[in-house]
Amino acid sequence: MHRSSEVKHLASDFNTRACECFGQPPVQPFESHCPVLTDRTVRVQLKVLKVKDGSVFFIRVKPDRTGVVTDGVKHSMNPFCEIAVEEAVKLKEKKLVKEVVAVSCGPQQVQETIRTALAMGADRGIHVEVSGKDYETLGPLQVSKIFAALAKKEQADLIILGKQAIDDDCNQTGQMTAALLDWPQGTFASEVTLEADKLKVVREIDGGLETIKINLPAVVTADLRLNTPRYATLPNIMKAKKKKITNVKPADLGVDVSSRLEVLKVDEPPQRQSGVKVETVHDLVEKLKEAGRI
């Protein structure tokens, strides 16, 4: 009871709060499934999100227009989450963090994604089991609740997520997680430096680069230029098999994953109309004037 009203309050407040404090663009519709939680002194938790592979070209809308076809479409780790994993592993290699925990929410298949994170250098994984209908409607709000609960349980000091998922482009989970935990956030990070017990984050914003200093514990979301993710080497893949992945259910964390959103319809973008070829620049200007464009 208390939790849902608290969340509602936060959600409605979120827009103003976000815009005021962090110069964020307005909240966009739901997305992302799993943030990377990283822990400073004890554990770093990473979120790894399994999305439709970025190189898949032919995505089709389902006949009932409730979404896109996901059966048989290749899924892989969200590119921004890869960058998040890489950053966490780098922090561990610099001996600034003790443990990196990779977390993913979803059905059985996300274990593969967690294993990839383990092969990149994470120490252990947590698989939050969400499947079937719940998985289809899983959105940033539910995921951020799960993450907030896990962060408290695991006593994480730093949460690193990809800034957004490339399938729904929501860009919300990081921000919501920080709000739920009442932690500071450094989003769109292109550089992260640990200084004593503060985090210096260089953020990519519309106007350029903004550098902020935030206290730990904190939430960071990774942007494209933060680093270049490493390949998982074959020996590391073999070592990753020995690393543990624990299974957890959202109910165990006291999180209700039912969605407050209903997708009304999903449409393809309109077909591109064919253009008209003109001979000269003069013709082009004439045509544009005719069409009322200039």
Partner 1 sequence: MIFNKVLRAGVQAGRRFQSTGPQAGVRAAIAASREAHGGFSFELTDQQKEFQEVARKFAREEIVPAAPSYDRSGEYPFPLIKRAWELGLMNGHIPEDCGGMGLGIFDACLITEELAFGCTGVQTAIEANSLGQMPVIIAGNDAQKKKYLGRMTEEPLMCAYCVTEPGAGSDVAGIKTRAVKKGDEYVVNGQKMWITNGGKANWYFLLARTDPDPKCPASKAFTGFIVEADTPGVQPGRKELNMGQRSSDTRGITFEDVKIPKENVLIGEGAGFKIAMGAFDKTRPPVAAGATGLAQRALEEATKYALERKTFGKFIAEHQAVSFLLAEMAMKVELARMAYQRAAWEVDQGRRNTYYASIAKAFAGDIANQCAADAVQIFGGNGFNSEYPVEKLMRDAKIYQIYEGTAQIQRLIISREHLGKFKQ
The residues of the shown chain that bind partner 1, judged by CB under 8 A, are 108, 112, 115-116, 119, 231-238, 241-242
> In terms of residues, how long is the chain?
294
Closer Cβ to partner 1, 15 or 233, answer by number: 233
Q: How far is the CB of 101 from partner 1 (least distance, A)?
A: 20
CB of 223 to partner 1, least distance (A): 21
DSSP-assigned letter for residue 163? S
CB of 248 to partner 1, least distance (A): 18
Q: How far is the CB of 232 from partner 1 (least distance, A)?
A: 6
42, amino acid identity: V
Q: How far apart are CA 227 and CA 122, in angstroms?
A: 16
Alpha carbon distances (Å) from 288 to 61, 244, 293: 34, 63, 5
Give the nearer residue to partner 1 in terms of CB position, either 96 or 224. Answer: 224
Distances (CA, A) of 258 to 37, 210, 216, 255: 23, 36, 31, 9
Q: Kindly state the smallest distance separating residue 231's Cβ from partner 1, in Å.
A: 5
The residue assigned the tokens 């250098």 is: 121
Query: What phi and psi values does residue 256 have, to the nearest 5 degrees?
Result: -95, 120
CB neighbour list of residue 211: distance below 8 Å, 6 or more residues apart: 200, 201, 202, 203
Contacts of 58 (CB under 8 A, 6+ apart): none
Based on CB atoms, which residue is closest to partner 1, 2 or 277?
Answer: 277
Cβ atoms of 89 and 56 closer than 8 Å? no
Between the CA of residue 103 and those of 49, 118, 169, 207, 247, what are the distances in Å? 9, 10, 19, 33, 10
Q: How far is the CB of 291 from partner 1 (least distance, A)?
A: 29
| CB contact at 8 A, 46 and 117 | yes
Please say which residue, 150 or 245, places its beta carbon nearer to partner 1.
245
Smallest distance, Å, CB 36 to partner 1?
A: 20
Q: Which residue has the tokens 């979301």?
A: 221
Q: Is the dihedral of CA 280, 285, 286, 287 positive or negative?
A: positive
Bond prior to 26 in cis (omega within 30° of 0)? no
Least distance (Å) between residue 128 CB and partner 1: 18
